[in-house]
Amino acid sequence: MSDPAAALTREVRDRVAAAPDPRLREILDAAVRHLHGFAAEVGLTPDEWLAGIRFLTAVGHRCDAQRQEFILLSDTLGLSSLVETVAHPSGAATEATVLGPFYVPDAPWRAAGDSIAVADPGGQPVLVRGRVRGPAGAGLPDAVLDVWQCASNGLYDVQDPAQPRGNMRGRFRADGTGGYAFRTSRPVCYPIPDDGPVGELLRAGGRHPWRAAHIHVIVSAAGHQPVTTHLFDAEGSYLDSDAVFGVRPSLVKEFLPQPDGSTLVEHDFVLRAA
């Protein structure tokens, strides 16, 4: 017996097979197969289809120069994290995780050992230090660490008019042996922006918007692949329910109390050869 739904899927797949670019052809074919498969599997009704269209339209309306609700949707569905995982298979190198929307290029250069917490009165001081290494373990001279984090009130400088621009951000150059050090505040958990359609979807799905406490770092060095990653606080909450599925066990670090009341994190970053 003929199956009209399967016949329609076949017809659309045959149509997109005309794309001259082989990679586009592969992507379109898989997109049609999975999209049709999804609608057929759940028996998507016309009303549900329309609700989906309205939802995606609302997501688009929340996108501008300051806010990218589509990336937030991708993040909360685990797609951004999946793309990072597929692009950077785990191995000896430092695992990659999501970039997030709060990265700002051209952070201020700071001297080794300086603090990115220019204005964070509530912050608990933390020293982060270690070495940037290549695949064979050798230190990578002059590696660059681009670091950013929210302040202790849970807000990034770009979300908080009370913070000076560049607060909780900095670029650090490693020394001749790949050694690096910077100071910051102990990271806190914070909710991702949930006042838009993605927040509605989280609530409808019985989910919270919280991210596990983390420090963002992009590590780069000449002749090596840069890595966009985080350091998570092992004592923080939400490690097993991070709203954007960013946690990797290899990135969860102990924050070690020091006799002077400060806190130390020691971590080596390992880059792949370019």
Apex 179 CA angle, 274 and 219, nearest 5: 40
d(CA 153, CA 187): 10
Q: Is the CB of 101 or the CB of 166 nearer to ligand BEZ?
A: 101
Q: Is the CB of 32 or the CB of 71 nearer to ligand BEZ?
A: 71
Minimum distance from residue 156 beta carbon to ligand BEZ (Å):
7
What burial letters (b/e) apply to 112-134, b meaning 16+ CB within 10 Å?
A: eebbbbbebeebbbbbbbbbbbb
Q: Is the CB of 100 or the CB of 139 nearer to Fe ion?
A: 100
d(CA 234, CA 167): 24
Minimum distance from residue 62 beta carbon to ligand BEZ (Å):
13
Site string for Fe ion, 80-109 (x = CB under 5 A): --------------------x---------
Residue nearest to ligand BEZ (CB): 100
Q: Which class for 272: exposed (0-12), middle (13-18), buried (19 or more C-beta within 10 A)? A: middle
Residue nearest to Fe ion (CB): 100
Minimum distance from residue 214 beta carbon to Fe ion (Å):
6
Apex 269 CA angle, 85 and 176, nearest 5: 145
**β-pairing verdict for 179-185 and 125-133:** antiparallel
Three-state DSSP class for residue 228: strand
Minimum distance from residue 18 beta carbon to Fe ion (Å):
43
Q: Is the CB of 128 or the CB of 192 nearer to ligand BEZ?
A: 192
Q: Is the CB of 101 or the CB of 226 nearer to ligand BEZ?
A: 101
Please report, as ranges, the residues that interact with ligand BEZ according to CB under 6 A.
72, 75, 98, 100-102, 192, 211, 244
